[in-house]
Structure 1
Amino acid sequence: MQLSSATHMLAAARAEAERLGVVVCVSIVDAAGYPVVFLRMDGVALGCIDVCHKKARTAALFHMDSAAFGQVACPGGGAYSLEQTNGGMTSFGGGLVIRDEGGVVIGGIGVSGARTEDDIAIGRVAVAALS
Structure 2
Amino acid sequence: MNMKPVLGLAEIDDILAAARNEAQRHGWAVSIALVDDGGHPLGFVRLDGASPGSAYLAIEKARTAALGRRESKAYEDMINGGRVAFLSAPLTATLEGGVPVVANGQCVGALGVSGVKSEQDALVAKAGAARVASAS
The residue number in structure 1 matching 2:22 is 16
Runs of 4+ in 1 over 6 A off after TM superposition: none
> Structure 1 vs Structure 2: percent identity of aligned residues?
34
Q: Against the structure 1 CA distance between its residues 61 and 16, is the aligned structure 2 distance closer, same or farther, given a 3 Å change threshold?
A: same
* Structure 2 residue aligned with 1:100: 103
TM-fit CA distance, 1:46: 0.3
Question: In 1, distance between residues paired with 2:99 and 2:11?
Answer: 15
- 5+ unaligned residues in a row in structure 1: which ranges? none
SS in 1 for 2:100: strand
The 8 Å contact of residues 29 and 48 in structure 2, kept in 1 or not, is answered as: yes
2:113 matched to 1:115? Answer: no
Question: Greater shift after overlay, 73-82 or 4-13?
Answer: 73-82
Alignment of structure 1 residues 32-51 onto 2, 5 Å:
32-51=38-57
Equivalent position amino acid for 2:70 in 1: M
Q: 1: distance between equivalents of 2:88 and 2:71?
A: 14
2:109 corresponds to which letter in structure 1? G
Per-residue CA distance 1:11-34 (angstroms, 9 max, x = gap): 011111111111100000000100
Q: Aligned-pair RMSD on alpha carbons?
A: 1.5
Contact 1:26 1:40 in 2 (8 A): yes
TM-score by length of 1: 0.90
Letter aligned with residue 87 of structure 2: S
User: How far 1:74 moved relative to its partner?
Assistant: 4.5
How many matched pairs?
Answer: 127
Kindly state the Cα deviation for residue 128 of structure 1 after the two structures are TM-superposed: 1.0
TM-score by length of 2: 0.87
Any unmatched runs of 5+ in structure 2? 1-6
More helix by share: 2
Question: Residue 90 of structure 1 aligns with which residue?
Answer: 93
